[in-house]
Amino acid sequence: MLPDTTTMAETYERDGLLPDAYDLADPSVVPDLRADIPLYRMEIARMRAQKLFRVPYLLTQSIITAAHDPAILATVRSVLGTDELVMWGANLQVGTPNEASLWHTDIESWLWPTVTVVVGLSGCRPENSTICVPGSHRLPVQPWAIADNSDADAVLRAAQSLDPRCDTISDFAGFADNRFYVFNAKCWHTGREGTSAGRELLFLHYDKASNPRIPYMDDYEDRTWFDFPASWLTVAGPTRFAVNRELYSVADKEYRGVIR
């Protein structure tokens, strides 16, 4: 059961997250999402072989189905206060990606408003959900700028020095397979090292359709961007979508979307 929508919006605005995980309305999509993981890993391998440091955001049929899950949409609509939504930047992850065991914010969330939804596919529990400093989305700096971002105690002290309301570290209660949680990845956050081996997740990002599309990052190391958006999909009204032109040619053949 979802909480009162007014309380949900107020909680998200105050804390930059909703503290509990929620059930998918239709978990039958999860096996299909797991079956798409090799496609994602193939894209990662191809990009790394070409020394490309970017995320291959995909729009497979299972991801499109999951993006329209009624429970996810009800939650995101409550948080953003609109029915007109765009989902962008879908990706499937196994284990802990990149430097996720260090405290950080997501650069896209730092620069643009977006809601991150994390869907548990396999091996998921509260202990290997994202851990956050609630309220830290209001802070004017990123954690690595003022603290040792491998040290949770140092990070929390730094957050409190900037805003006394940032006084705790929390994970997402009730997280499990077939459940999802929601947060603003501008919050200072990390993963617990050593807890996520074999864990499988789907990441979805949502934004108001009235906002400009978020650009696709060319290189995470150099912090450079393309002049076209990351893969996106409308989730209200007539379906429209765009697939990044940098993605493998299978995208052109399978999705027949607007290739930018």
Contact 155, 188 (CB under 8 A): yes
CATH, range 5-97+106-130+172-259? 3.10.129.150
Separation between Cα atoms, residue 33 and residue 30, nearest integer Å? 5
Give the tens place of pLDDT for each residue, 3-23: 556 689 999 999 999 999 999
Contact 207, 88 (CB under 8 A): yes
pLDDT higher than 70, residue 257: no
Considering the entire predicted model, what is its pTM? 0.89
The stretch 250-255 carries a mean pLDDT of 35
Give the tens place of pLDDT for each residue, 118-160: 999 999 999 999 999 999 999 999 999 998 999 999 999 999 9
Which percentage of the chain shows pLDDT scores above 70? 87
The stretch 44-52 carries a mean pLDDT of 90
Q: What is the pLDDT of residue 30?
A: 99
List the one residue out of 165, 70, 182, 65 whose CA is nearest residue 120: 182
Q: What is the pLDDT of residue 27?
A: 98
pLDDT higher than 90, residue 25: yes
Beta-sheet pairing, 258-259 with 241-243:
parallel
Q: Where exactly are the structural domains of the chain?
A: 5-97+106-130+172-259
The stretch 218-237 carries a mean pLDDT of 85
Q: What is the pLDDT of residue 227?
A: 87
Separation between Cα atoms, residue 73 and residue 75, nearest integer Å? 5
Residues 6+ positions from 234 with CB-CB distance below 8 Å: 85, 86, 209, 240, 241
Q: What is the pLDDT of residue 224?
A: 87
Q: What is the pLDDT of residue 238?
A: 58
**Average pLDDT of the chain to the nearest whole number:** 88
Contact 177, 29 (CB under 8 A): no
pLDDT higher than 50, residue 171: yes
